[in-house]
Amino acid sequence: MLKEFKQFLLRGNVIDLAVGVVVGAAFTSVVNAIVTDLLTPFIAAIAKVPDFSGLTFTLNGSHFMYGNLINALVSFLLVAVAIFFFVIKPVNIIEKISQKKSAAEPTTKKCPECLSEIPIEAKRCSHCTQIVA
């Protein structure tokens, strides 16, 4: 039983998941810092209201604190903006650059007679035996 437990713990996907959770937790603090220290003060400078939690209304003796909902929505949008512009866009740019670099010279060509793929150095098609210039 101990051997099976050891095998379970040492499986690749369990370790990958653990690493992903740890890195995700660390990344959460970075995203929260960007939102709290950069984007929220920027919104507060524009809207002149850094916190909406004081916004409420009363209906039949019940307090509706819609300001907390506004705070949560603004926080969600700021996190989404931060992730998009500071993670997704740079990763997409890096992927485009690496794809351009990896676009190597073609190694095959099409036979003009049968349109099958043949090596670029071939002088004769291996499928239809047509001479290829």
Which whole-number Å values give the CA distances from 29 to 34, 37, 69, 84, in the listed order? 9, 11, 22, 16
Q: What is the CATH number of domain 2-102?
A: 1.10.1200.120
Q: What is the pTM of this model?
A: 0.53
Would you give the distance in Å from CA 3 to the centre of its chain?
37
Residues of the chain with pLDDT under 70: 9, 12, 102-104
- Report the number of secondary-structure helices (H) and strands (E) in the chain: 5, 4
Q: Where are the domains of the chain?
A: 2-102, 105-133
- Give the pLDDT confidence score for residue 89 in this predicted structure: 92
- Give the pLDDT confidence score for residue 19 in this predicted structure: 79
